[in-house]
Chains A and B, each alone.
Chain A
Amino acid sequence: MDPLHQFQINPLFQIVLGGYDVSFTNSALFMVVAVALIYALLVVGMANKSMVPGRLQSLAEMAYEFVAGLVRDNAGHDAKPYFPFVFSIFMFVLIGNMIGMIPYTFTFTSHIIVTFALAATVFVFVTILALLKHGLHFFSFFMPHGAPVALAPILIPIEVISYVMRPVSLSIRLFANMMAGHTMLKVFAGFTVLMISGLGALGFVTGLVPLAINIALTGFEFLVAFLQAYVFSILTCLYIRDALELH
């Protein structure tokens, strides 16, 4: 009945590598499942290479064009080489979120360490990209154009902090959304069970209320699952644009 039980990491195979416990867990299993699903969608879907696409191929092409549009509109035309990166992020987060909507699965995007590692990857990637592209000129990013020089001692720390906080906000947004949604589903489901066990026959009637709320929440969770993947990728695109253009 613990609503947080669903976030428990359970090792399936014990693996220890260089002194660290890197066991294959339920979290790892669903990461592998997510990658397999994405690969299957794109490779099985595109196997026929039909001129007129079938259902699966349409889905694969839709995903491609959706992310391609995202990159084009938010990261600019120079960002084309980074399209596979944004696509991988979007699909990984989206499928991770969606797998979590299936009962008895594990939502790896509800773990802060996972979302933080993804966000940190984006952060390091974007920072290295900016440094390679602009060299030391990159640091002018922290001093807004046209701002009075006198304000520099205030502005620069603010800009630096907001830049460094990017991976934190990026990861917490996704983690918090997924964890809160899943916990809420479990809590309302728990209400129904409690009412049935506590109130007997009456519980079957009153238990319908949290059940109805849960049905609505499930629909809402699907929206959140998509939206958070979208937000994560769109922010990645915006960071790439910042790195390429420096404002």
Chain B
Amino acid sequence: MPNLLAKGRLARWSGVAGVSLVTLTTMAGTVLAAAAEHAPNAAHGGEHASGGLPQLNPANFPTQIFWLALTFGVLYHLMSKKALPRVAEVLEARQERISRDLAKAAQLKEEAEAVLAQVEQSLAGARAEALTLIGQTSAEIEANTQSRQAALTADLAARLTAAEASIASAKDQAIANIRTTSADIARDIASRLAGVEVDAAQAEAAVAAVIEERR
């Protein structure tokens, strides 16, 4: 709450006015009361008129107005000059303290947020770095795997062709061996059964013709 007792021109004026007004009212009231005092007193004849309201007995008016003006004037003076500024001061100090604490809290929050942002940034950096590292490594592994696979494939192909070649030559040799052996066996059979000596070349040609025929 803003200071309600700002020491302005109006505040000073109202202080004077407050006290002076009470005095003024007092004087006016006292005159009225005094004027009224004479008439009813004559009628009643006694100070404590029986049955009448004590409130309406004008004999009581001057003292009441006097003491009201005095006590209210003192009260107004004490309140406006001493008591209320003190309360305002305490309330203001508290308001100030609260807003200061709030500002401090806001500042601390801002700092914490900055630190948090920094942490997040470095975390993001680390994550990106890790990702590139992973990508790089996996690419390397991929390349390595591919080259080894290619080498293996080439090796296997070479071995396959070598094996095929050796199989083919072994087959050719086997076939050649079969020809000479067959020719020999045929010659042997012919000499034993028919007693005919067959020429080696002739026998071989005959065997070759038969093999060609059966193929």
Contacts and interface: CB of A to CB of B under 8 A. Distances in A.
The winner among A22, A27, A81, A114 for most chain B CB atoms within 10 A is A81
Contacts of B11: 81
Interface string B51-76: 00111110111111111110110111
B71 A28 contact: yes
B153 interface: no
B75 A91 contact: yes
A49 B87 CA distance: 8
A105 interface: no
Interface size class for chain A?
35 or more
A24 interface: yes
A31 B90 contact: no
A38 B75 contact: yes
B84 interface: yes
B65 A117 contact: yes
Interface string B130-152: 00000000000000000000000
Given A68-B4, A117-B26, A120-B25, A22 B67 contact: yes
A34 B54 CA distance: 21
A175 B64 CA distance: 14
A11 interface: yes
Interface stretch (A39-47, A188-196, A228-236): A39-47
A105 B71 CA distance: 17
Nearest to B66: A22
A67 to B, nearest CB: 9
B74 A35 contact: yes
Contact of B54 (A7, A11, A121, A128): A7
B6 A25 contact: no
A23 B68 contact: no
Contacts of B6: 80-81
B21 A35 contact: no
Given A8-B54, A46-B83, A39 B78 contact: yes
Contacts, number: 182
A238 interface: no
A204 interface: no
A49 to B, nearest CB: 5
Contact of A61 (B5, B22, B69, B91): B91
B75 A35 contact: yes
B58 to A, nearest CB: 8
A64 B61 CA distance: 32
B25 A121 contact: yes
Given A117-B68, A118-B68, A125-B17, A23 B87 contact: no
A49 B89 contact: yes
B1 interface: yes
A49 B86 contact: yes
Interface in A2-27: 4, 7-9, 11, 15, 17, 20-25, 27
Nearest to A8: B54
A124 B55 contact: no
B4 A71 contact: yes
Contacts of B15: 84
A174 interface: no
A239 interface: no
A9 B83 contact: no
Contact of A17 (B56, B66, B75, B91): B66
B34 interface: yes
Given A35-B75, A49-B86, A88-B72, A68 B14 contact: no
B182 interface: no
Given A22-B66, A64-B84, A65-B1, 5 more contacts: A32-B67, A32-B71, A35-B74, A50-B90, A117-B29
Interface of B: 1, 4-6, 8, 10-11, 13-15, 17-18, 21-22, 24-26, 28-30, 33-34, 48, 53-57, 59-69, 71-72, 74-76, 78-80, 82-84, 86-91, 93-94, 97
Kindly list the 5 A-B residue pairs having the minimum CB-CB distance in the complex, ordered from nearest. A84-B80, A28-B67, A42-B83, A81-B10, A31-B71
10 contacts: A23-B63, A28-B71, A32-B71, A35-B78, A42-B84, A46-B90, A64-B84, A71-B4, A81-B6, A120-B28
